[in-house]
Amino acid sequence: MTSPPFSESAPYGGLPDATGHFGPYGGRYVAETLMPAILELDEAYRRIAPDTDFQQELARLLAAYVGRPTPLFHAERLSRHLGGAAVFLKREDLAHTGAHKINNTIGQGLLARRMGKRKLIAETGAGQHGVATATTAALFGMECRIFMGVEDIRRQAPNVQRMRLLGAEVVPVASGTATLKDAMNEAMRYWVEAVSDTFYVIGSVAGPHPYPMMVRDFQQVIGQEVKRQMAAAAGRLPDCLAACVGGGSNAMGLFYPFLEERTVELVGVEAAGHGIPTGRHAAALGAGSVGVLHGSKSYLLQDPGGQIREAHSISAGLDYPGVGPEHAWLKDSGRARYEAVDDAAALAAFRLLCRLEGIIPALESAHALAWVIQAAPRRSPGEIIVVNLSGRGDKDLGIVVPRIQPEGKEHP
């Protein structure tokens, strides 16, 4: 049985507070037109999520439909190749729809149903959250509309086709940079108008309160399983957890159950794109500054005048100029640290995992792997690093294949 995602007695300071703040971060920075909806959602979540029937229904779907628990796999060939710490992969890529995103969409979908909302909307970058939301809408017999930047529609075409097959309407967003942030802008605009019968399923630990808390709660099943699986496999806690961070949902889901386990090192890996010094990256925590975007205060990529700067990453899911507010808090408090790896390192990690373990990782997850590839050789064989393999990479073949030289000459 999956553990409840809702924890009244949350660890690490019991954050967020009642108004959705993680220290100075988070909050609810939205127009008054959205405030009543945000307050209604907060009230509904606090009332419905702890309910036993809700928890049982969620646990049943996570097991029977999503396929949880996902395996924790000891990547022995990769570990041997790196010659240091033992590397374990948390196989979120094996969850239904191929990424961790569905843990959250099933949770929010159930909540939407309890609230009497008949329509789901969502923003998506790589398309994984869009696919997961479309899947949830199909499962629950709801209407679904997915907002996606035209740039992302182009580079993640297979996921667009999947969403349409699942019955969702994919709304192209051409404004701004035509990527994830603009899709989120457009979803917020649409939601304002449709708020009476429509539930906005945010896919990351971003947005106005209660979203960062709620998405984290629905994703923390990842870390809870890792804790149990690691105990069974090694009889102890891991030494280090690594996960990629765009908005930061898979990282929060992995980290959260370990926040009070101070011996466990937490490492979030951002996208350095073409490299931090080039300015063409998506490392909000590593190279950004504090600001307000999409309803919460956190680190952002912005110019000195407070205009949001364009993010750059080969991975559409990390191509976002902000980051969830709880990550900002974990960074400032020192509980987690944040590294960045560039496009080239992520591509090399992608390729290495394919060859050594027979697993095609999502480009997002390949960023976390790339950091582990750098870090593991410097650590002793007794150490254990768990990497969140947050998604599978089939969606990325169109990006990856033209960029990597074939190694063997067997297919000239």
Instruction: Give the active site residues.
Output: 101, 123, 390
H or E stretch covering 387:
strand 384-388
- Please classify residue 174 by burial: count the beta carbons closer than 10 Å to its beta carbon, then call 0-12 exposed, 13-18 middle and 19+ buried: exposed
If the CB atoms of residues 165 and 174 are measured against another protein, the closer one turns out to be 174
Per CB under 8 A, the segment of 33-41, 197-205, 245-253, 329-337 that binds another protein is: 33-41
> Least separation, in Å, of the C-beta of 280 and another protein?
17
Give the interface size with another protein as a residue count (CB under 8 A): 34
Minimum Å gap between C-beta 185 and another protein is 5
We find the least distance from the C-beta atom of residue 118 to another protein, in angstroms, to be 17
Which of 188, 366 has the CB closer to another protein? 188
Helix (H, G, I), strand (E, B) or coil at 124: strand
**How far apart (Å, rounded) are the C-alpha atoms in residues 293 and 299?**
9
Which of these ranges, 23-31, 88-96, 213-221, 324-332, lies near another protein under the rule CB under 8 A? 23-31
- Residues between 142 and 181 that touch another protein (CB under 8 A): 175-176, 181
The stretch near another protein (CB under 8 A) out of 32-40, 198-206, 220-228, 256-264 is 32-40
Q: Residue 29 or 140: which CB sits closer to another protein?
A: 29
* 3-class secondary-structure state, position 133: helix
CA distance 207 to 200: 11
Which residues does 403 contact at the CB level (< 8 Å), separation at least 6?
347
For residue 270, the SS3 value is: strand
Residue 116 makes contact with another protein by CB under 8 A: no
Closest by Cα among 298, 254, 217 to 21? 298
- Does position 293 bind another protein by CB under 8 A? yes
The reply on whether position 204 binds another protein by CB under 8 A is: no
Q: Does residue 193 touch another protein according to CB under 8 A?
A: yes
User: Strand 384-388 and strand 86-90: pairing?
Assistant: parallel
| Given 210, 295, 317, 324, the residue binding another protein (CB under 8 A) | 295
Nearer to another protein, 301 or 386 (CB): 301
**Inter-residue contact 290 to 322 (CB < 8 Å):** no
Residue 69, helix vs strand vs coil: coil
Q: Which span (27-35, 112-120, 221-229, 392-400) binds another protein, by CB under 8 A?
A: 27-35
Parallel, antiparallel, or unpaired: how do β-strands 143-149 and 169-173 relate?
parallel
Rule CB under 8 A: choose which of 55, 103, 159, 185 binds another protein: 185
Nearer to another protein, 53 or 303 (CB): 303
Please report which residue ranges of 334-389 form alpha helices under DSSP H: 343-357, 363-375
The amino acid present at 287, given as its one-letter code, is A
Q: Which of 141, 277, 305, 334 binds another protein (CB under 8 A)?
A: 305
Rounded distance between C-alpha atoms, residue 190 and residue 181, angstroms: 14
What count of Cα atoms within 13 Å lies in the side-chain half-sphere of residue 335? 18
Residues near another protein, by CB under 8 A: 19, 27-33, 35-37, 175-176, 181-182, 185, 188-189, 192-193, 195, 290-295, 300, 302, 304-308
